[in-house]
């Protein structure tokens, strides 16, 4: 079914009883041309672009839980292309362009909202850094406006401009940035892949690999053995564990990132705002909840929940920037497992096992990357060559030292 205003009217008039399921629920076949491990945003986008761009439809996505149960349904939904370094800059620029056409392409409402992002700065040094970043964004063909203090006040007058400890000097405004409904992105790609013949297999955990003479032949799963000459590993926070099953080690540590949402409020925060002097960023969801987060919990873990010290730290930072949010009641918090690389940038590359491809290391910024990551991963799996815009996301950069360290924090996973 194609979604349209007319279809909405027709279905509404007939009691909304004939909407079809978004995707089938097939039993796994014994063999496919390609397998994708992980039914998160990146895995589903890879499946979709394999079918759409490369005509590969004898493909299955193997998901150990339900589609969208991982980070794709846990993030704070920010979409942006405000990177500084070559490698990231062109990749995220491409991703944002794909976002801008995604809903039409998928015929699915992902509630992509280009409401703008303002990154605040609080010192002369930070202003210089943001001016440089803004210039890089403009050179890449994206948008950036450097606001002074009064410019920020015009846009977001409710911030605490009087605090003397960390005064607001200005902000970098990225108008094409914004938010999207995270799980709808997974559902849209899932539906698009399924419509093109991809099998989406839920409750199917990969427990081992079939490897002969250094080449992958398929996988062992909780639903039996499934063979394929090409396998994409797209498991985000579980990347280290799944790579270990295939006999190699990835330069990844898994850490927890938490997020928080308040009760629904009337519209009060139009943009996404990030604090330059504390671990805090915020936006308002279309349901009205204030959605905010901060930094990692700082210890490695596979738990999908965080701890109170970081919750307290984030809320304190929020209160110093925006005291008005103290009146809102917090509704819930949750956590997701972040696949942190030593330089904070991802990997889309061959693995040491022939036919097994790695897509990992998205840290806490992989939601916005979903379209471009799927695009490049599909290219890699279909053609066995790295896509031009992902050429710097090589696995061997951690051996050769060609890191893409956007935050210049050095090789320590939990500082990115």
Residues that bind ligand FAD (CB under 6 A): 37-43, 62-65, 69-72, 74-78, 205-206, 234-238, 242, 257-259, 293, 336, 362, 364-368
Q: What are the two backbone dihedrals, phi and then psi, of residue 311, each rounded to the nearest 5 degrees?
A: -60, -45
Cα–Cα separations (whole angstroms), residue 80 to 77, 175, 384, 416: 10, 9, 29, 17
Q: Among 89, 82, 71, 74, which Cα is nearest to 274's?
A: 82
Smallest separation, CB 130 to ligand FAD (Å): 19
The tokens for 398 are 């951690």
Place of tokens 């062992």: 220
Helix (H, G, I), strand (E, B) or coil at 283: strand
Q: Considering beta carbons, is residue 43 or 116 the nearer one to ligand FAD?
A: 43
Matching residue, tokens 């491990």: 37
Between 113 and 163, name the residue whose CB sits nearer to ligand FAD: 113
Choice between 169 and 336, CB closer to ligand FAD: 336
- Please state the closest distance from residue 240 (CB atom) to ligand FAD, in A: 10
CB nearer to ligand FAD: give 259 or 277: 259
**Token pair listed for 253:** 């540590």
Paired tokens of 366: 């992989």
Q: CB nearer to ligand FAD: give 368 or 416.
A: 368
Strand 224-227 vs strand 230-233: parallel, antiparallel, or unpaired?
unpaired
Minimum distance, C-beta of residue 122 to ligand FAD, in the bound complex (Å): 21
Among residues 377 and 382, whose Cβ is nearest to ligand FAD?
Answer: 377
- For residue 390, CA distances in Å to 243, 350, 383, 387, 416 come to 20, 12, 14, 5, 20
Tokens of 178: 């914004």
Beta carbon of residue 125, minimum distance to ligand FAD (angstroms, whole number): 25
Smallest gap from residue 355 Cβ to ligand FAD (A): 17
To the nearest whole angstrom, how small is the minimum distance from the Cβ of residue 381 to ligand FAD? Answer: 15
Whole-number Å distance between alpha carbons of 18 and 11: 7
Nearer to ligand FAD, 169 or 186 (CB): 186
**Minimum CB distance to ligand FAD smaller for 206 or for 403:** 206
The residue sitting closest to ligand FAD, measured at its beta carbon, is 40
Radius of gyration for the chain, computed over Cα atoms and rounded to the nearest angstrom: 21
Give the shortest CB-64-to-ligand FAD separation in angstroms: 4
Question: What whole-number distance in Å separates Cα of residue 277 and Cα of residue 321?
Answer: 9
Q: Which of 372, 362, 291, 367 is nearest to 332 (CA)?
A: 291
Helix (H, G, I), strand (E, B) or coil at 200: strand
């Amino acid at each position: 079914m194609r979604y349209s205003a007319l279809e909405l009217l027709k279905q509404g008039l007939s009691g909304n009883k004939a909407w079809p399921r978004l995707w089938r629920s097939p039993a796994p076949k014994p063999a496919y041309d390609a397998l994708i491990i992980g039914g998160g945003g990146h895995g589903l986008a890879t499946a979709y672009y394999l079918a759409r761009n490369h005509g590969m439809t004898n493909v299955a996505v193997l998901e150990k839980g339900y589609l969208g149960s991982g980070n794709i349904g846990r993030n704070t939904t920010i979409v942006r292309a405000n990177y500084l370094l070559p490698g990231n800059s062109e990749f995220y620029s491409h991703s944002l362009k794909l976002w801008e056409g995604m809903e039409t392409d998928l015929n699915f409402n992902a509630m992509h909202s280009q409401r703008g992002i303002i990154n605040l700065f609080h010192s002369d040094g930070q202003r210089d850094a943001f001016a440089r970043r803004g210039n890089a964004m403009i050179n890449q063909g994206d948008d950036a406006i450097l606001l002074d203090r009064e410019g920020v006040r015009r846009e977001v007058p409710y911030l605490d401009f009087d605090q003397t400890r960390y005064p607001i000097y200005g902000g970098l405004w990225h108008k094409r940035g914004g938010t999207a409904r995270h799980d709808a992105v997974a559902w849209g790609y899932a539906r698009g892949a399924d419509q093109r013949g991809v099998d989406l297999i839920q409750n199917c955990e990969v427990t081992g690999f079939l490897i002969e003479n250094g080449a992958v032949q398929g996988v062992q799963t909780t639903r039996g053995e499934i063979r394929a000459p090409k396998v994409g590993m797209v498991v985000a926070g579980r990347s280290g564990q799944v790579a270990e099953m295939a006999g190699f080690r990835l330069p990844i540590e898994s850490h927890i990132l938490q997020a928080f949402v308040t009760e629904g409020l009337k519209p009060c925060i139009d943009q996404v705002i990030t604090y330059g002097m504390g671990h805090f960023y915020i936006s308002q969801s279309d349901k009205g909840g204030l959605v905010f987060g901060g930094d990692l919990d700082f210890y490695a873990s596979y738990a999908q929940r965080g701890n109170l010290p970081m919750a307290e730290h984030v809320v304190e930072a929020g209160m110093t920037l925006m005291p008005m949010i103290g009146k809102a009641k917090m509704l819930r918090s949750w956590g997701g497992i972040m696949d942190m690389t030593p330089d904070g940038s991802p990997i889309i590359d061959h693995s040491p096992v022939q036919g097994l491809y790695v897509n990992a290391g998205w840290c806490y910024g992989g939601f916005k990357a979903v379209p471009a990551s799927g695009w490049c991963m599909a290219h890699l799996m279909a053609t066995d060559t790295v896509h031009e815009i992902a050429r710097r996301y090589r696995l061997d950069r951690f051996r050769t030292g060609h890191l893409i360290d956007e935050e210049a924090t050095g090789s320590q996973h939990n500082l990115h």
